[in-house]
Structure 1
């Protein structure tokens, strides 16, 4: 079973996610933890054109091989996974849909390290409900940001054609004749027979050479240019203050919102509707803030404010 020690080096580097058959699926997104065991349970994978689609994949059977995450499910199964809103929390309904798609048994998956199914972080109506001999339930609510996009004009580009005069040069090869004086001794074979002795003579030979000249100008088509649009995908982080309800337990009427009342290292966890934690002294309060499925992310995300993050 993978741990965050295995996955930490892969986060934030667009690590490739491949199947055990070697097919590339996309790049790693974020890791979802089990709320009870804090073990990695799900990973999101950026798929589709420009990585705009994000699919949930179980980490059951996954391994880390070098700088790649190898998952135990086929590429088509992952890319056709149901679209789940990534808001830092998998609801029981979301998990049920994913279990059905990947052919997982919900009870087995939860026992084996799946994201906890009893988290109740989020808004809702306070509905009293009794279980056994306990008191009515108290529901904690919080605000979450709803983020959208708006299109604004970012730049305006124009193309303009104009004429300039520049100096052009071309290099061409040239031929040139060179005049040589050749001398050879007189022999019986080349002795003159016309008796041209002691007679004035003039011999003339003309040498030629080529010169570069401009014959004219030719107009040729070089290239064509136009303006076009293309779409790229980026990321933006928005931040805004939100309200959250906090629930504390007080003994003998003393209430305190300080969750560190028990000293460093104190932790409380909701499990099955009961409060677990280090025994409190008389009059001390224990924070019972509900912790839903927590997400490990490599990018700041305002939607996940207040969740357990790891970079």
Structure 2
């Protein structure tokens, strides 16, 4: 373990090795307890080109000339709570770290109790500058996109239907009397008496039009969710640190 007389500046940028002896990154910052002023956590730069800093309990580390050794695997350290490295830990963030490392490895806590003022960053005397950049943070919100209303209206149109009908026609047939028939024998007298006319009635069919209402269509309406992708863009700013002066990095004076 690191003793209380240990010089924090001596581990700046030191290599960090996991429980299997593999290098996992380098020391980033040391966070001290606001009350005791004792080291509480140390951050390790891991990931591609040290793009991420992860917290490790300072009391669990062991310093040697080769670097800082920790009793955790790289995978376990990468799964630690994701907390912004902003120079200060809240009591809630601090408790999350202790809960994580205490649950699996029995790491004891030395220093600030839960609900205390938290821990801060211990800086060294070395000159440094931190570059920051802005990143787009996109979320979604629901809003009304439109309304649909069902309404019926009456439309009038002409409809033609062919209907078969029947009608009676008058048929008149005239025949010549056979001279050899009884009707052709002479001696018949002309009857001058009045006779009633024979009436023949003709009939015909005509279409009778009525209306009836029948169901022809049913419309169902509902909603469904469609997943799609939209591209958003915006301007972000990024700080870039330029080194100016006559001295070159690594030059001897």
- TM-score calculated relative to the size of structure 1: 0.36
Larger-gyration structure (1/2): 2
